[in-house]
Structure 1
Amino acid sequence: MPALPGGGTRAFLVRPRRGADRHHHRRGGRWRRAGRPRAADAPGRRRAVPGQAVRPRYGGLVTVAAVNALSRRWALAADGRAVVFAGPGVWPLLALIATGADDTARAELEKALGTAATDAAAGTVVDLLGGCPAVRFAVGLWSRADLPLRKTWLDRLPPGVHGELTGQPAVDQPRLDAWAGEHTGGLIDRMPVQVDRRTLLVLASALAVRTRWVRPFTDTSIRPASGPWAGGRIAALDRTTHDPGTVTVVDRLTRLRVEGTDGIDVHLFLGEPDRPAAAVLAAGLDTLSTPGTDALSGGPGIEVSTVASTDARDRYVAVVPRFTVRAGHDLLALPEVCGLTTVADPVHSHLPGISSEPLAVSQARQDALAEFTTEGFRAAAVTSVGFMAASVRLPSATVRQVRVTVDRPFGFAAVHRDSGLVLVAGWVAEALTPRGEG
């Protein structure tokens, strides 16, 4: 970064506010092997422990572009309330369901998937996640003992993920809840779908992301002068760097990138005050790979000033909100995102490739959580689909400083740095008060 006349430099401050609304399976750097699944109608079968998970092998069903496209459509459903969602938690389940669907249902699911329902392509997002130490991912399948499952469909699942449902909700639900807690490190302690005596099969995924900031923040607070968070002091986090890439402007958005360990970046998106949440979040996801312009050009929430400094480099000061966001989603209410309308038909079964018995999706839900703190970021999502029977240093110089203050609702996304896969994304609609102030 060029120095100013007389030895000064520029300094940049990015400052959002804290907001909150109210397999081989990777453990400790090693993969834990489990038994292979067997067809439900195989005599003398030995089932895996319910929820045992291994590294998935979907044979190329998933592409980063397709998953990110699903996440973008989900972002367009944002209505201004706090939200967090995980596209990679939904996509593999839709792909598995599509491989067992008839032509009508498969066409709808393939539209949601953005690709053909085939496992012939090479390379998968699931394998990518399995190689990222910041991410844990697991798949689970549970079915009633008397439900025959097609071996060809079971063979598309990772080995060792098939458990049994007893048909007794008091027994089955705690087991499913325990699986959710185990595979998210306790961040989500229950399975989103609730089983009952009609539940014949449950298909689920668990995704957990944990990263520590390369440069941690310190606690502070700010008092927004305008916007929905005006009128009170809110908890925030403060950090200064000299990296011009931490704050850029593109498509009328100010973007703050916070670098985490193990290949994870968290991006914050601040739009103009009157820009809808869906437009801000979707534009943020669309422009993740777009370089953008220098923050000195100005943008939403950006303040450029000249300050005293002992370092000739420009400064980028970030004051960002500490936030916690939780959300629950009914995936059946998101047909444009998930494409589950046809397979949820309770009268006509559209899943002949899963079982010889007529099946219909009865529930499909995702529960998700994201937390942005002084030391790092963590997020988790559990997605589940239930099936029932179908009836069918002292200052010595001056520098310029860019200050970005996020003092109104904003979007965020956690991204796998190398591939660009959006792991979770969301919207912070409410701010938290500083500790000790109510």
Structure 2
Amino acid sequence: MTRKSTRTLRPDVDLARPIATYADRLHRALGGTHHVVSPLGVWLVLALAGTAATRAETQARMADVLGLDPRDAAGATRALVDAAPAELRLAVGAWVADAARDGANPAAYDVWSRSLPRSAGTGPIPPQAELDAWADEHTGGMIPRFPAEVPPTTSVLLASAVMTRISWAEPFTAVPAAELGGAWAGTVARVLRSPEEHPVGAVDVDGERYAVHRAASSGDMTVLSVVAEREDAVPADVVAAAHTVALGGGTDVPLAELPLGDGPVWSVVEEDGFGGDSTDALLPAWATDTEVNLQQVPSGVDAAFAALADLLPTAPTDRTGAVQKCVARYSREGFEAAAVTALMRAAGGMSARGRVRHGTARFARPYAVVATVRTTAGPLPAFSGWITEPVEAD
């Protein structure tokens, strides 16, 4: 079920930086494990709960987690979900059991319900089969089952689904893994070489250098791969740097400033030739299937549960649960990813001749990825992760 609202949208609120800040919180909790998640998916669920807060203390907690006043977060969520970019499918649900709704303050409940996106699923808690169908439909079959078992005693269930499935505007070619080198060359037989249309370069972020590769769809989606020159870089710092670059930060480092020869990441040669300098990248294909218990990491769901408690009656036997299921695949032809996030409370869970250079960036060890979609306010991070397990390039 869906309901309509006349609440004014807030499309002027830029969500990119709050989402990137929230992503840093989540990735620092997940550390160096092989994973891709959707911080956007979790943030959307938290934003659904934000306007449930009626006490000043709870409102402040939600503002800290969201990086925005909860009312602004709700308005921006409505604008995004109800008019999502073409290559990003979004859906949210905010279901409340009849008994819990009947016990709420009517005026506060009306304010909260009117803050929800027009397209949100609302009404009583759907049965498990309907939730499975909801997840399947909104992830294009990538996640066919809802990531949580929802008991009949559930009083409130908030959920989001985020999905993209794109083909690269210019696909990679598959080459022998020996060209990549490193330990991963012994793990798979073939890896990916980027075409000349893919931007590849060195970027300085806060005094640290990274190699950055960008692969884009023919539409609005771009996936950045970012590897640190320092082999001992903290994974979460690399993911944070990737978000900085994704949002237009960092300083480009000219190829002429990179040392000739084989380095930690770059292999740079100089020879006689025509035209300008050029770059490409070698990186593995990869796939992930990640499930995160959001209550076992500092994800901010505790503030969301507190906000819901401001609005909806609780019982001593009530238990809570919060989880995200995310699957993603990066291949020669394209990228696809989907995530379903659930939060619930239940009783009893680039010509002249000259010297030219060519540099090849080798993503031969763990690196960060960030997938962004272009919006009127700029790039919006949708998925991000830390890649440690390559798969065979097709």
- 2:158 is the counterpart of 1:197: no
Residues 200-209 or 245-254, more deviating = 245-254
1:214-238, CA deviations, whole angstroms, 9 ceiling, x for partnerless residues? Answer: 21112223135434x3544443122
> What SS does the aligned partner of 2:358 have?
strand
**1:212 partner amino acid:** S
Written as runs of structure 1 = structure 2, the 5 A alignment for 1:396-411 is: 399-411=356-368
Shift in CA distance, 306/295, structure 1 to aligned 2, threshold 3 Å: closer
Distance in 2, matches of 1:291 and 1:129, equals 35
Which residue matches 1:328? Answer: 291
- 2:162 is the counterpart of 1:218: no
In the alignment, which of 383, 394, 402 is matched to residue 341 of structure 2? 383
Give the Å deviation of 1:139: 0.9
Shift in CA distance, 62/164, structure 1 to aligned 2, threshold 3 Å: farther
Which residue matches 1:267? Answer: 224
**1:372 partner amino acid:** Y
**1:162 partner amino acid:** T
Written as runs of structure 1 = structure 2, the 5 A alignment for 1:271-350 is: 271=228, 272-288=230-246, 289=248, 290-298=250-258, 300-306=264-270, 312-335=275-298, 338-341=299-302, 344=305
> What SS does the aligned partner of 2:281 have?
strand
- 2:384 is the counterpart of 1:425: yes
Give the Å deviation of 1:62: 6.6
Give the Å deviation of 1:125: 7.9
Identify the structure with the greater helix proportion: 2
**Does the 8 Å contact 1:130/1:137 carry over to 2?**
no
Which residue matches 2:114? Answer: 155
**2:224 partner amino acid:** H
**Does the 8 Å contact 1:326/1:368 carry over to 2?**
yes
Shift in CA distance, 385/268, structure 1 to aligned 2, threshold 3 Å: same
Distance in 1, matches of 2:115 and 2:315, equals 20
Residues 121-130 or 417-426, more deviating = 121-130
**Does the 8 Å contact 1:316/1:401 carry over to 2?**
yes
Which residue matches 1:393? Answer: none
In the alignment, which of 70, 77, 86 is matched to residue 38 of structure 2? 86
Shift in CA distance, 406/197, structure 1 to aligned 2, threshold 3 Å: same
Give the Å deviation of 1:123: 5.0
Give the Å deviation of 1:300: 4.5
> What SS does the aligned partner of 1:88 have?
helix
**Does the 8 Å contact 2:168/2:334 carry over to 1?**
yes
- 2:124 is the counterpart of 1:164: yes
Shift in CA distance, 342/374, structure 1 to aligned 2, threshold 3 Å: closer
Shift in CA distance, 210/420, structure 1 to aligned 2, threshold 3 Å: same
Identity %: 27
Give the Å deviation of 1:308: 8.2
Shift in CA distance, 296/366, structure 1 to aligned 2, threshold 3 Å: farther
1:236-280, CA deviations, whole angstroms, 9 ceiling, x for partnerless residues? Answer: 12233167x432232221111122222221110111222221221
**Does the 8 Å contact 2:269/2:359 carry over to 1?**
yes
**1:315 partner amino acid:** S
Distance in 1, matches of 2:233 and 2:118, equals 46
Which residue matches 2:161? Answer: 206
**1:140 partner amino acid:** G
Higher relative contact order (Cα pairs below 8 Å, separated by 6+ residues): 1
Shift in CA distance, 126/81, structure 1 to aligned 2, threshold 3 Å: farther
> What SS does the aligned partner of 1:100 have?
coil
**1:36 partner amino acid:** R
Which residue matches 1:12? Answer: none
Shift in CA distance, 152/240, structure 1 to aligned 2, threshold 3 Å: closer
In the alignment, which of 74, 82, 91 is matched to residue 138 of structure 1? 91
Residues 212-221 or 405-414, more deviating = 212-221
- 2:203 is the counterpart of 1:249: yes
TM-score by length of 2: 0.81
Give the Å deviation of 1:93: 1.8
1:27-79, CA deviations, whole angstroms, 9 ceiling, x for partnerless residues? Answer: xxxxxxx75269xxxxxxxxxxxxxxxxx957777732211110122222242
Give the Å deviation of 1:427: 0.8
Number of residue pairs aligned between Structure 1 and Structure 2? 366
Give the unaligned 5+ runs of structure 2: none
Shift in CA distance, 277/123, structure 1 to aligned 2, threshold 3 Å: closer
**Does the 8 Å contact 1:295/1:302 carry over to 2?**
no
Give the Å deviation of 1:282: 1.6
Which residue matches 1:48? Answer: none
Shift in CA distance, 93/218, structure 1 to aligned 2, threshold 3 Å: same
TM-score by length of 1: 0.74
**1:151 partner amino acid:** D
**Does the 8 Å contact 2:191/2:392 carry over to 1?**
no
1:324-377, CA deviations, whole angstroms, 9 ceiling, x for partnerless residues? Answer: 122111111222xx3223555xxxx75355324559661111111221111221
**Does the 8 Å contact 2:176/2:190 carry over to 1?**
yes
Give the unaligned 5+ runs of structure 1: 1-33, 39-55, 167-171, 391-395
Distance in 2, matches of 1:79 and 1:35, equals 38
Distance in 2, matches of 1:308 and 1:212, equals 36
Q: C-alpha root-mean-square deviation of aligned residues, in Å?
A: 3.2
Give the Å deviation of 1:383: 0.9
- 2:92 is the counterpart of 1:112: no
Distance in 1, matches of 2:168 and 2:293, equals 32
Written as runs of structure 1 = structure 2, the 5 A alignment for 1:56-95 is: 63-95=15-47
Shift in CA distance, 84/59, structure 1 to aligned 2, threshold 3 Å: same
1:116-142, CA deviations, whole angstroms, 9 ceiling, x for partnerless residues? Answer: 212499755852883411111111123
Which residue matches 1:22? Answer: none
> What SS does the aligned partner of 1:177 have?
helix
1:359-407, CA deviations, whole angstroms, 9 ceiling, x for partnerless residues? Answer: 96611111112211112211111111111259xxxxx999532111111
